[in-house]
Chain A
């Protein structure tokens, strides 16, 4: 059973990527896509569609989904709270507020991801400072600080939208709030990749402490976990992953909160299995959702955050709340 689950988790990413590559305004066959992928230095319209339009979006969707899901799983594990997601670090609300102000101030569109990233990371640092207790982090203070600052930043966004002199401003801001990968390319991914990479490395370094934290902070300390250091590492990782995701795709909700629950159902709570499962499910989910967003109201695009919430939440509620047979033994 465990092997079957592992195979399914490994297979869903290329399957989703294939679906993502096939969907678009120009119908392409699978062999055409494979042919273009096999010749990265070729030229032509098909090459441009595959290499410059669809592949970067698939990669960005995968990176965003994986990052948010991993960040959510780590924070839920660290804080032992199933209602937490990476945006509880204040990243999303601060990014939205900064971008809203930047839009109204006339900042160039190309600078918005960087502004969102910087503001998001700044908010994460502020939340961390407010949550600090001694040399570690107080879980309750972290959640309270994150929620409070997010409310403040959300109010700023509302204020900016209400006071915006132009309908275009409000539309641009709302596009960010709803999340979208439209117009993103390799440049956006390469600029963000180092931060996502550092976040992923910190996540890998947090695997063993995360597993120990499953039996509580006190016992984790007793078995030799440097809990303070682990908390800072996890928070830094989740903040980098969330800020990078916001810079790439705006605010994509649902993934960071719900995917860890689904992954836990499939792979268990062992971080060695849980984090890769989150990456696979989160990545595949965002790739498929982005493809649907491109297709469902073509030639326009549906915001991915909206789609994920409309389709994902009922699915999650069905999967999570349906009665289950409970056995006394754990498989494997």
Chain B
């Protein structure tokens, strides 16, 4: 589905990521994690064709992304971001309908039956059918996030890239969104999703991609990646792991390394888990 071959990315003159090698398979949920500023968003944008690749190749279904026209690329990869912008007087269905852009020629102004069906399916998938006529601006943060996902689904792409879809959401809505994405992978869609919450990644992802130190350090199943020392090194913080029934894993962050080193024994027990 997605094949990253020795990919390097720059932001301005700074080399942000280098030598990334990864393959994402059909129907797989891959969580992208790493500290703030490591390049998660930039990598997702590069795959979506929204950020130039400095070196290497990104193959989308076997074709180099930079050889595709914007419309062709948007029929293969959908990028969902939760950045807030002002949307005045746009109904939910109008927002989702914009996802049909890559399926139209420039002179094709009007919605076809296939467009209406795709929009209805997308709204149904995120359980927003009843909100079709609602003004986008009147929705809650969780509802807006669902609409952005519906927009990506309306593109009918085999791959869905999401940039922190659970940020700013309460715990229930966050898990609803992730459950929805998990269900999409069962239908054959590949989901590549930047997350900050390690437990969300552990609970929903097939594999976790860990960015750090300017490259992709690991791409492995959650149980393997979260139990190693690498994760502590990248985040610079001690981790406590708790194995739950059914093989589930939960990770709790301790104090930052410096604080742990300096603090008296027993101080860690008073630290409140932050992840």
Residues in chain A within 8 A of chain B (CB atoms): 205, 207-208, 211-212, 214-216, 218-226, 264, 268-270, 272, 328-330, 332
Contacts and interface: CB of A to CB of B under 8 A. Distances in A.
Most buried by A among B78, B106, B134: B106
A322 B109 CA distance: 34
Given A214-B90, A223-B99, A330 B109 contact: no
A208 B74 CA distance: 15
Contacts of A207: 109
Given A224-B75, A224-B101, A208 B89 contact: no
B94 interface: yes
A211 B106 contact: no
Contacts of A264: 89
19 contacts: A205-B106, A205-B107, A208-B101, A211-B98, A211-B101, A215-B90, A215-B151, A218-B81, A219-B98, A222-B74, A223-B101, A223-B102, A223-B155, A224-B73, A264-B89, A272-B109, A272-B110, A329-B91, A329-B133
Contacts of B102: 223-224
B134 A223 contact: no
Contact of B48 (A214, A216, A222, A329): A222
B101 A221 contact: no
Contacts of A214: 87, 90, 94, 98
B176 to A, nearest CB: 22
Contacts of A328: 134-135, 138
A215 B50 contact: no
B95 interface: yes
B192 interface: no
Contacts of B83: 216, 218
B71 interface: yes
Contacts of B71: 224
B160 to A, nearest CB: 11
Contact of A222 (B50, B87, B95): B50
A221 B109 contact: no
